[in-house]
């Protein structure tokens, strides 16, 4: 019995030793495919390689990714000028964007690949994958057909929208049609639409180009006379949005005012008109308002890929400019200036204020003005010492909007003067107040003229 057990144990040791020797030998023998990949007309092939790191298994994943990348590179897909008349050959960034989209489409289609072999030694690891060309072609064809069906559906919706003069949705659905086929911009895609063979990428783009480049923005007035501090009547600042002589409703427009960097987003109304009523605050004689198509909003509504939006943003569109001829408000100034309770003839504050406002372009009138400034001012004896007299001045400037009879601001001014009599001290206080008008108070007046609402 003991002898039988001994013989069985010896046999198992020999078997395991033989197997172990065989595996070690197989591992140490580097396969030819690691250096010279054999060609196979039925398969795409890819080999991945990675260096091993101590106490890490990351080399397995690294080699796998490299193999799949190598597999994708064998499926050669390069973007060209395509069959559409889109001039992005000289736009490097746009060409790169489309190349990335197409490469991503290829990589995402690498499914159903299989492991052929792997090899490793103490320092390195290799893996060998392959993908059946026939299976890959079938999967690509299926995905392409789905994309064409989606694009065709959007294209048909665009045609229907155009038949109903819904230009906004026409552009949106043609854009969606392009977006559905963005991964195939290196190919000619022919679709059957209502019994007609259509080069769908080319035709969708050309129709978008034709629409956007021919939309007109027609201003009611090329030049508008207005005044600082007042809103422009929206009836004056009105534009019609039209295509092929027909008004376009619900179409996005941007109004840009040169006075500031703000842009106003608009949509044409049911009759195809847009209008704005900006408050004019500019101190310049001329400003401009530009009306243009809001392509950003339009394309965002189509939910298209950034690269498609970038492509369509390059389509030239019309901008209409309205010029504003800006006049300053006309000012009426009334003054009651007293010195130690006695009315003065010099009217120092009124004279100084008129000079300051005229130097800034405001018109001084006696009647029919836009604003009225009423000055009430008087000096009082303050103190005297050793023959030196001091007088204090209090002045109030009330600013009224004559169009609505509302007080828009009240400004107070104080000053003191020292001289050999109260009368002369009061005159000195008026001189000091006059200087304060020009140094710090004049800006308060010009700001008050903007308070029309």
Domain co-membership, 224 together with 319? yes
Distances (CA, A) of 194 to 159, 191, 385: 11, 10, 105
Residue 36 lies in a domain: no
**Helix locations, 29-123, DSSP H:** 58-74, 92-108
pLDDT for 137 equals 85
Domain co-membership, 145 together with 194? yes
- DSSP-assigned letters across all residues of 391-425: EEEEEEEEEEETTTTEEEEEEEEEEEEEESSHHHH
Domain co-membership, 338 together with 433? yes
Residue 82 lies in a domain: no
Mapping DSSP to helix (H, G, I), strand (E, B) and coil, where does residue 244 land?
Answer: coil
HSE-up (13 A, CA, CB side) for residue 334: 9
Within 10 A of 64 (CB to CB), how many other CB atoms are there? Answer: 18
Domain co-membership, 370 together with 288? no
Residues β-bridged to residue 419: 389
**Encoded tokens for 150:** 């989606």
Q: Is the pTM of this model over 0.85?
A: no
Residue 370 lies in a domain: yes
Number of domains the chain is built from: 3
Q: What is the rounded CA–CA span in Å between residue 129 and residue 119? A: 12
| Continuous segment of H or E residues that includes residue 257 | strand 252-257
Which of 320, 321, 331, 367 minimizes the C-alpha distance to 228? 331
* Residue 436 CB partners (closer than 8 Å, separation 6+): 413, 415
Residue 77 lies in a domain: no
pLDDT exceeds 80 at position 164: yes
Domain co-membership, 340 together with 416? yes
Residue 180 lies in domain: 136-213
Cα dihedral value 37, 39, 44, 45, nearest 10? -10
pLDDT for 38 equals 86
pLDDT exceeds 60 at position 19: no
Give per-residue pLDDT as tens, 378-405: 999 999 999 999 999 999 999 999 988 9
Where does residue 164 rank: exposed (0-12), middle (13-18), buried (19+ CB within 10 A)?
A: exposed
- DSSP letter for 40, please: -
Q: What are phi and psi of 296, to 5 degrees?
A: -60, -50
pLDDT for 265 equals 96
Residue 389 lies in a domain: yes
**65-68: Cβ within 8 A, 24+ apart:** 67/127, 67/128, 67/129, 68/107, 68/110, 68/113, 68/129
Domain co-membership, 367 together with 386? yes
Q: How confident is the model at residue 14 (pLDDT cuts 50, 70, 90)?
A: very low
Domain co-membership, 248 together with 195? no
* Residue that has been written with the tokens 């007309």 in this structure: 41
**Helix locations, 39-166, DSSP H:** 58-74, 92-108, 133-163
Domain co-membership, 384 together with 403? yes
Domain co-membership, 407 together with 360? yes
Q: How confident is the model at residue 425 (pLDDT cuts 50, 70, 90)?
A: very high
CATH of the domain at 252: 2.60.40.10
Strands 363-365 and 330-339: parallel
Give per-residue pLDDT as tens, 324-382: 999 999 999 999 999 999 999 889 999 999 999 999 889 999 999 999 999 999 999 99
pLDDT for 39 equals 87
CATH of the domain at 208: 1.20.58
pLDDT for 260 equals 85
pLDDT exceeds 90 at position 1: no
Within 10 A of 24 (CB to CB), how many other CB atoms are there? Answer: 10
CATH of the domain at 411: 3.30.160.150
Q: Which of 181, 213, 245 is the last residue of a domain?
A: 213
Domain co-membership, 290 together with 338? no
pLDDT for 28 equals 64
Least confident piece of the model among 22-36, 80-94, 207-221, 380-394: 80-94
Mean pLDDT of the chain: 87
Mapping DSSP to helix (H, G, I), strand (E, B) and coil, where does residue 204 land?
Answer: helix
Domain co-membership, 182 together with 258? no
pLDDT exceeds 70 at position 24: no
């Amino acid at each position: 019995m003991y002898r039988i057990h001994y013989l069985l144990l010896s046999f198992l040791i020999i078997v395991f030793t033989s197997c172990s020797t065989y595996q070690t030998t197989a591992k140490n023998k580097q396969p030819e495919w690691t250096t010279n990949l054999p060609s196979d007309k039925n398969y795409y092939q890819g080999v991945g390689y990675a260096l091993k790191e101590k106490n890490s298994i990351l080399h397995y994943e690294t080699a796998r990714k490299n193999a799949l990348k190598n597999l994708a590179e064998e499926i050669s897909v390069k973007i060209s000028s395509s069959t559409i008349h889109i001039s992005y050959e000289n736009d490097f960034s746009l060409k790169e964007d489309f190349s990335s989209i197409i490469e991503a489409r290829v990589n995402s289609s690498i499914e159903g690949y299989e492991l052929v072999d792997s090899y490793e030694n103490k320092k390195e690891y290799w893996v060998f994958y392959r993908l059946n060309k026939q299976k890959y072609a079938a999967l690509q064809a299926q995905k392409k057909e789905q994309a064409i069906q989606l694009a065709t559906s959007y294209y048909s919706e665009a045609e229907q929208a155009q038949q109903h003069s819904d230009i906004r949705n026409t552009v949106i659905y043609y854009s969606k049609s392009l977006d559905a086929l963005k991964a195939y911009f290196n190919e000619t895609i022919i679709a059957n639409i209502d019994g007609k063979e259509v080069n769908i990428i080319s035709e969708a783009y050309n129709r978008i180009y034709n629409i956007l480049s021919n939309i007109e923005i027609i201003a009611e007035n090329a030049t508008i006379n207005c005044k600082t501090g007042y809103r422009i009547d929206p009836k004056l600042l009105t534009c019609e949005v039209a295509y092929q002589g027909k008004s376009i409703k619900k179409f996005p427009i941007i109004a840009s005012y040169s006075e500031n960097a703000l842009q106003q987003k608009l949509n044409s109304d049911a009759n195809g008109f847009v209008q704005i009523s900006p408050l004019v605050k500019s101190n310049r004689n001329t400003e401009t308002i530009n009306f243009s198509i809001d392509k950003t909003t339009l394309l965002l509504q189509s939910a298209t890929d950034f690269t498609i939006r970038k492509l369509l943003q390059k389509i030239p569109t019309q901008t209409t400019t309205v010029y504003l001829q800006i006049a300053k408000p006309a000012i009426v100034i009334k003054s009651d200036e007293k010195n130690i309770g006695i009315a003065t003839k010099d009217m120092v504050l009124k004279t100084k204020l008129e000079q300051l406002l005229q130097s800034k372009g405001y018109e001084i009138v006696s009647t029919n003005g836009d604003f009225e400034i009423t000055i009430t001012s008087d000096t009082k004896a303050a103190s005297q010492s050793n023959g030196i007299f001091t007088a204090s001045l209090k002045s109030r400037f009330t600013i009224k909007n004559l169009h609505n009879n509302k007080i828009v601001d009240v400004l107070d001014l104080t000053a003191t003067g020292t001289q050999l009599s109260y009368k002369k001290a009061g005159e000195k206080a008026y001189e000091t107040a006059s200087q304060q008008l020009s140094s710090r108070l004049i800006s308060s007046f010009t700001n008050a003229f903007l308070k029309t609402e």
